[in-house]
Amino acid sequence: MQIPVIVLTAVLAAVFLGTAVPKLTGQAQMRERMDHLGVSPGLTRALGVLELAAVAGLLLGLLWAPLGIAAAVGLALQMVGAVVYHARAKDPAAMTLTPVIFAVAAVALVVLHVLEG
């Protein structure tokens, strides 16, 4: 197992676990942020569930790469959606850049998994 795959998996899993839990528990700050973006409470919970599933997929992907690839692709797509919501809310570029960075990191993980073969 390549160290970059392990490190990038751990970073992505930690970040998305940290964003999934507030979405699932309805934390006030997360509710305010999602309200600002125009995301309903139901969609917020669904995104939290998807992020939690992605975390599990990323970690299990260390044992079976196709699962890790699928989870990383799903996260990249979710981050593309986040960019769209931030752009529609006319958020500053720095705020919109955050999901772009995580999308790129998820795609990088896919590439690393594929190269690892």
Can you read off the two tokens belonging to residue 51? 């992020």
Q: Which two tokens stand for residue 75?
A: 């996260």
Q: For residue 25, is pLDDT > 70? A: yes
Report pLDDT digits (tens) over 78-112.
Answer: 999 999 999 999 999 999 999 999 999 999 999 99
The predicted pLDDT at position 60 comes to 98
Q: What percent of the chain stands above pLDDT 70?
A: 99
**What pLDDT does 32 receive?**
96
Tens of pLDDT along 41-81? 999 999 999 999 999 999 999 999 999 999 999 999 999 99
The per-residue pLDDT for 98 is 96
Tell me if 59 sits within 8 A of 24, measured CB to CB: no
User: Domain count of the chain?
Assistant: 1
What pLDDT is attached to residue 117? Answer: 80
What type of residue is 6?
I
Residue 72 belongs to what domain range? 3-116
pLDDT value at residue 76: 98
Q: What is the pLDDT of residue 1?
A: 64
Neighbours of 46 (CB within 10 A): 14
27-45 tens-digit pLDDT: 999 999 999 999 999 999 9
